[in-house]
Amino acid sequence: MRQSTIILFFLLFIDQHLRAQRVYTAANVHAHNDYQQSLPFFNAYTHQVGSIEADLFLQDNELYVAHEAKEISPERTLDVLYLQPLQAQIKKNKGSAYPHSTAILQILIDLKTNGTTTLPVLMRKLANYPEIRNNPTIQLVISGERPNPETWSKYPSYIYFDATPGVNYTAEQLKKIRLFSASFRSYSQWNGEGSLEAAAEAKIRQAIDSAHQLNKKWRFWATPDNANTWQTLMQFKVDFIGTDDVTGLTSYLNKLPTNKNNSPRKN
């Protein structure tokens, strides 16, 4: 009788552990610097990623997508690379970001020029894209050269912000925050091979837990980009795994035992 009771408790423990395991899918993939891909927007969109990143410059009252100012090209505007194709897909999907799904697509706009002057131009642009603006399946998140957090509440309800760890945001400012992001290099110089050092692991877990306690998501940038790193980030319960290899990461996630027969997770 005693042995059977022990076995029962063991089975219950295993069942609870398996249920607690987080299922990672393409919804957890962040397409880092997507505009540098051979097919901006479309490659990431086809894989149904949860987040797409575009760096944005304001120049001559136009919004250009580029990594550096010297790379600005007349045909690579925010309209052409992202807003027009995204709006077309939403119309095709009858209002949703992805077909037959309520999954959320985050568009992370990394401002490379002053946010106070760039954001008003972005809002005027978005006025021409009603299918994107105020769409429950689209989250527009501003990163990079953001305006002062004290002004965030003045921006429309469809504009959210990427937050900096360690800053004491007010309750009002937290309402405008969608996630916290940080450079992985500020925590560790790990190259993605072998195991992460214990001291860095403790700091990383504490930072991510702090964001989760606020019910916010977490993203690193400047991480190594290989399978060992992806697995390590999943163990840390990172919400978005940044990659320059969307095809490789989504393929890797689809092959995980816990992900078989699972459709993309809703954010």
Are residues 191 and 200 in contact, defined by beta-carbon separation less than 8 angstroms? Answer: no
Q: What is the mean pLDDT of residues 130-157?
A: 97
Residue 266 forms part of a structural domain? no
Residue 11 forms part of a structural domain? no
Residue 162 forms part of a structural domain? yes
Q: What is the mean pLDDT of residues 138-153?
A: 98
In the chain, the number of structural domains is 1
- Report the pLDDT value the prediction gives residue 249, as an integer from 0 to 100: 98
d(CA 34, CA 143): 15
Q: How many CB atoms lie within 10 A of CB 14?
A: 10
Supply the pTM of this predicted model: 0.89
- Report the pLDDT value the prediction gives residue 214, as an integer from 0 to 100: 97
Domain that holds residue 49: 26-256
Residue 247 forms part of a structural domain? yes
d(CA 23, CA 254): 10
**Residue 7 dihedral angles phi and psi, to the nearest 5°:** -60, -40
Residue 252 forms part of a structural domain? yes
Residue 91 forms part of a structural domain? yes
Q: What is the mean pLDDT of residues 174-194?
A: 98
d(CA 179, CA 164): 9
Summarised one tens digit per residue, pLDDT across range 182-191 is 999 999 999 9
CATH of the domain at 106: 3.20.20.190
Using pLDDT thresholds of 50, 70 and 90, give the confidence band for residue 257: confident
Residue 7 forms part of a structural domain? no
Q: What is the mean pLDDT of the chain?
A: 91
Residue 110 forms part of a structural domain? yes
